[in-house]
Structures are given as structure tokens and as C-alpha cells.
Structure 1
Amino acid sequence: MLPSLCSLLLAPTRLLLALGRAVARVAVAAVAVAAAVAICGFWLREFSTRFRVVALDQRGCGASDKPPGKSSYRPEAMLEDIRQVIEALGTRGEKGIPKCILVGHDWGGLFSWEFAATYPAMVEKLVIIDAPHRAVMADFTARHPTQLLRSSYVFFFQLPWLPELLLSLGDFELLKTILTGRWLGIQEPRRRLTEQELDAYLYGLSQPRGLTPPLDYYRNLFGGSPVCRERPPAPVLLLWGARDAFLDARLATCLRRRLAPGSCLHVLPGAGHWLPEERPDALNRLLWDFVGAPARAAAGSSPGAAASGPS
């Protein structure tokens, strides 16, 4: 009787501890969609001498519009946003079709995979940083239970209002803790976020309804949106952190099979999910090698570069 009573009394504590562990695994993912400008800032500085560099706040994030309703954040809506930006700002080729070098990290990378396959004439080269292709991700997760565990937060985010509540408790204290953590956060100690940088990341999320649009991206993953399974015909630079806490390193090998000729995969040892912040110098070198160093390029002959999406 006594053991049963003790077990009953301890049940709420066990539940809270389990919930805390679950939220600790998922918290950073909510921030990912909101960080486009911070992530892309170093590209603006590095590549603007040769390219027109455009860093996007995805709809619902940062200073971008936040249309109401979950359906406003379906994948096809984001693809149309990217198309319109390239249509307006891309460099027009011989046939008058605007094109760009498309760069995407995390959600931006997921959308970039599909955009480059759906609108191949508008993408000259594609750079993907720690981001899966939806079709490959589903098959890989079905065959690798460890990835299912890494992605368990996606199912938690399907719930209404509860994720917003838990992630905003204590002035987003949980998100602050996770973003500076050794496992989910930036792996390089010298590159870890300062208090001011944390405030910049969380500012948009702290606004009214700031959390709901980023979470609605996850809520639309199982909404029946069509998945483009075609391989992007453009050359792809695929960059991956070997210690990405959210995505199994073996997933990069599976994605490599979808790369067109002239593509390459670089797995950065010891690096986590936040490559643009953690390894900016290494990424700059790899990007210049991929797009062509300035000394090897003819002035005025380069396409525009669009950096899509968050970290």
C-alpha cells in the first residue's frame, strides 16, 4: 500500500520532469524560424561586394508580415514568397528569367530544396545548410528511430496553444537556457551567444502572437501539402554539422544522392546545427569556392544571391 501511495504522490513530479526534458529538446526549434536576419548578417557583409545579397525574414517572423491563420504558413505559401522576391530582385538572364544563388538554413533550406526543383530556371546554384528535403526526411525517419527521437518536438508542436505557453514561461527563460546550452546550442565556446544577441533572437518571439506563426510551419507539415520529389537540377553545396543535435549526420549522406553533377557535401567535424554563427569563416571559404572567388569572376556578370530562411 505504501509503495503505491508513494508512486501516486510522485507521479506529478515525474510528469513535470518528463515534460521539462521534452521541452528542453524542442525549445530551440521554435527560435529557428525567427533568426533569418541574425544568421544572414555575415553574408551581407561578406558577399555584398560582388552580389546583391537579400536576407529574408520569412513570413510570420521578425519584421515580416504575420498573416493570421495556420493555412498562411503552408509550404506552398513560402515557395510563392521566394518566387516573388527573386522575380523582383533577381538578375535576369538571356531569356529574361530572373535567377539567383539560393542559400537556405534550417526551414529556409527545406523550402530552398523544393523551390530549386519547382522553379529550376530561377536557381543558378543552391546552398543548403543543415536542412533536410521533406521527401528524404520522411523515408529516413521511418528507417532510423534515432531521428524519430530527435524530431519528436515536431509532434509536440502539433498541439494548439500549449507549446506557445510552455515556451514563453518565465520571459522565455527555457529558450535562453537551451540556446546557450552545450548540446543544442552553439558548440564553439568562443561563438556562443551574448546576452544582447539572445535578446535580439527573442525580441520577435516576445511580440503579441510572436510564437504562433513559427510554430504554424510545423503544424502544416502534416497538412497534406504536396511534396516535390524531383531532384534540383542546379549544382548544390550541402553543408552539415557533424554534431547537429536535431538532424542525424547520416541524413546528409542520404541527401547527397539527390545532388546534381557539380555538387558537393561538406560535413564540418565538431560543429552543431547553427553553422552560420558557429563557423562563419569556414562557411565563407566554402561559399566562395562554390560560387567562384571574386578574382576569378568577371565584373557585373554574377547573378543575384538570395539568402532564404533561418537558422
Structure 2
Amino acid sequence: MEIQLGELTFDVLASGPESAEPVLLLHGFPQTAHSWHRVVALLNAAGLRTYAPNQRGYSPGARPEEVADYAVPNLVRDVVGIADALGLDSFHLVGHDWGAAVAWSTAIAHPERVRTLTAVSVPHPAAFAWARANDPDQVKRSEYINLFRMPGRAEEVLLANDAESLRKVFGTALPVEDTEIHVRAMSEPGALTAALNWYRAAALSEGAAPPARVPTTHIWSTADVALGETGARKCAEFVDAPYELRVLDGVSHWIPDEAPEAVAHAVLSRMAGTSAG
């Protein structure tokens, strides 16, 4: 379906029983809503209604030009606006990578709208900021962000030689056909720049983010090359609600693709109130 928010048009993948409990799923970089298709199938089979939008910059009709347009508050407004357009007073929220960062910020800003939060890979913004400031391991893991913030240069590097470096980002965690879906989307004119603008617009004051006050599960994987253990362990300090950290041994950063059953189980357990915490 398409959802119009002002001048922006968002493509949203909707499936599952229309009258069932709603789950919003937010993808990360450099993926599209397609990244959720395995998780969505499991949630739909469990009787849930799912909505997975191609977020700002990823939907061709929602690709503003200014870097500031991609600041987190705008991304949060998109989530709430999509929920409003769908008639959802409240919803379960799931996010991976950048989608997790937006999901955290949405839950913090609008706890009355978010029934449960499942944040995959990326911890609470304050936990991540603390790790980047205090953990040499996380500092090294985050070095790629410096490249991604370089206008023009990042696009050149990632798209050179038929997007060779962009494909390498995924490693071997995704089937070739799934990698190609994302690479094709990011190769569209303006698409990669819009996606990278999330990094370029990111505030440096993330450590000031208040605690989340909704029931939360954070999923972190030990083979994630971008996100280390420090931020994942620190995350518990920034949730004032039932909370659980789930650690997936040997799984890469691409958790929804590589371990969809673990993600779906975490979402369903959190919804049922059976997670630890």
C-alpha cells in the first residue's frame, strides 16, 4: 500500500489478518522493508497484522533533498504518521539497525503509542553513545560511520565496480537474491544518498536520550561486526520497564535475515509478557 504524509509517499508492505494486533517493522541500512519478509511470514502465521514501510529516503516518493530532512525527529514523525494513517492508536514496534535507532526514539517520545519494543542489533541511543565514547572496541567498529558521512565519497566507494563494496557489506549472511534486491534499490538515482543522509543528519547528542518506558527486548548477536557487547550490556540501564537482552551466538549483524525465528520468538514472547525482566 501507499501512505501519503504531506508531500511524501511511503510504500508499506502490509500482511496478515486485518483485525489482528498490529506490528510495525522498521528496516535498517542499506536494506528495504524486504529485509523483514522471513520474520513477517512467522508473525503472520502467529495471527498478527504486520506493516513494514520503506522509510524516508527508501521509498522513491519520500526522498527529500536536504540532509536535515533525515534527522531522527523527522524519522520518528514518519512512524507516528504512518500509524495514524493506518488508524493505529497503539502498536508493537520492531526495528533493526537504523530502524532500531528510530524505534528506540519513537518509544521514548511516544510511550503511549508503543505497546512493546523489540530492538534488533542497535541498543538504546544513550548506551550506544556511551560505548562509542568509552569502549575502544566500539570506537573501532564505528569507524565506517566517518566514511558514510562524507558526501559524494561514500556513494562513490559503495557503488564503484557495480556496487562491489555495497554487496560486501552483507557478507554471506543473505542469499544472493536478497542482496540483489537491496543493491538494486540502493542503486536507483538518489537512493543511496538519501539512505546515507541518515548518518549525516544524526545528532551527536544521543547520550542525552532519556530511558525508554515501554516493555522492551534487545537482541544482539556475537558476530556483529558493527556493534560490540559493551553497548548491548549497557542497554539495561536505559529501560525503565520490563526488559530482556537476548544474545544470539555466531549470528551476524543481519539478524532478521539470518535468524528470523529468533526475532519472531522474541517479539511474540515480549507481546505475551513472558520475556524475562
1:287 CA drift (Å): 2.1
Q: Give the corresponding residue for 2:199.
A: 218
Match of 2:39 among 38, 43, 58: 43
- Whether 1:251 aligns to 2:231 is yes
Alignment of 1:1-311 (within 5 A): 32-48=28-44, 50-91=47-88, 98-181=89-172, 186=173, 192-194=174-176, 196-222=177-203, 229-292=209-272
- Runs of 5+ consecutive residues of structure 2 not aligned to the other structure: 1-26
TM-score by length of 2: 0.82
1:228 CA drift (Å): 5.8
1:198 CA drift (Å): 2.0
Partner Cα distance (2:103, 2:233) in 1: 18
1:193 CA drift (Å): 1.7
| Residue pair 2:57, 2:64 contacting (<8 A) in 1 also | yes
TM-score by length of 1: 0.74
| Residue pair 1:44, 1:53 contacting (<8 A) in 2 also | yes
Code of the aligned partner of 1:209: G
CA 1:279–1:289 in structure 2 vs 1: closer, same or farther (change >3 Å)?
A: same
Return 121-130 or 226-235, whichever deviates more: 226-235
- The structure that is helix-richer by fraction is 1
Partner Cα distance (1:289, 1:246) in 2: 26
Match of 2:119, SS state, is strand
Partner Cα distance (1:48, 1:33) in 2: 24
1:71 CA drift (Å): 1.4
| Residue pair 2:39, 2:261 contacting (<8 A) in 1 also | no
- The superposition leaves residues 10-59 of structure 1 with CA deviations (integer Å, 9 ceiling, x where unpaired) of xxxxxxxxxxxxxxxxxxxxx94242322211233222352221101111
1:176 CA drift (Å): 1.9
| Residue pair 2:126, 2:238 contacting (<8 A) in 1 also | no
CA 1:67–1:117 in structure 2 vs 1: closer, same or farther (change >3 Å)?
A: same
RMSD: 2.2
Q: Percent identity?
A: 26
Code of the aligned partner of 1:208: P
- The superposition leaves residues 84-134 of structure 1 with CA deviations (integer Å, 9 ceiling, x where unpaired) of 11222254xxxxxx1100111110100111111111100111110001332
CA 1:107–1:177 in structure 2 vs 1: closer, same or farther (change >3 Å)?
A: closer
| Residue pair 2:135, 2:230 contacting (<8 A) in 1 also | no
Code of the aligned partner of 2:252: G
Q: Which structure is higher in RCO with an 8 Å CA cutoff and minimum separation 6?
A: 1
